[in-house]
Chain A
């Protein structure tokens, strides 16, 4: 047996600590530097990043472009709202458990149908199925509240309830921020392990060459289904975390433009990199917030940014940065 070349190195969490630890520290310190509004904006960005990395398991690693991830996000959010409405649940941990179960059921059902197809057929099917959920949320007023939506109060976090005298905004900007940050870090770690696991390698093989993957013995449909399921669950968790922060869920988050936003986030950050969708989600959140504040034509502005992005930075923010760094390294190495 030969020794594997030195350029090949074992990836382990320890190897990426030098750049992840400072980032995590910054995320821990940021609420002290930001005002509550700024922290809440960042919280939205972090929880959308969970949805974005979930989505990117399909797009970036399996080669499947879903236009229906609003469905799993909405299922997570509505699961929380319905648990409160019908069972008066107030524990965030139970909310998350319910959201995970609901998103497993829905993504298993949708995944069973969708993974039989690829490319445009897969995209259209995911879009159509998410629209079915949107129409149910829209029409079943008695259950879902229709366009009025459903309200969700601030739940207990790890059994600790908000003090009746405490400002809700401050509670969300402090306690809830750290709660979401904890989930964000856990989700990023789990997803990082998944994409670097033998299973993750098999997904990348399916993405690159489906026929060859089949001829090395990979069960294409089964693996796509598992990826779909994991992706749906991550997005469902994000939906559950979002609805508590937002305090209200409406059918808007099940509508197809919301799926488009999740696609936008991954493209913005760079779907060919692991960190791209995370950066994309956070940046998109700020972009949208400031665009909405700047002009009533904010959709046109966001559209223009997307067009610019596709034409000028096809690799996304992180992808382009990586290319620039690689070029600089190459230049200095000479």
Chain B
């Protein structure tokens, strides 16, 4: 892969990313309030999808059932988050849950 090809890809993605960000915010396309409300739903949906994919794509070669452990850990984090706790606390709970569950699986197997 030549340097020029890599420059071209980065340039195309840069221009595309800027367009995605700029077009609605500069008013080049008028976004009605109802459409903005639906877009907020789409944004929540996009983030939810990234949570699910993050769990499904989780790999831990040394841990049997790593996907289940990851899902349980994220579920713990979500449970803490729905109680209105801070991002830092959610992360601590989620990662601690992973550590505890991974240790338990190692101990049992």
Chain A partners chain B: no
Contacts from B to A (Cβ < 8 Å) = none
Chain A interfacial positions (CB closer than 8 Å to B): none
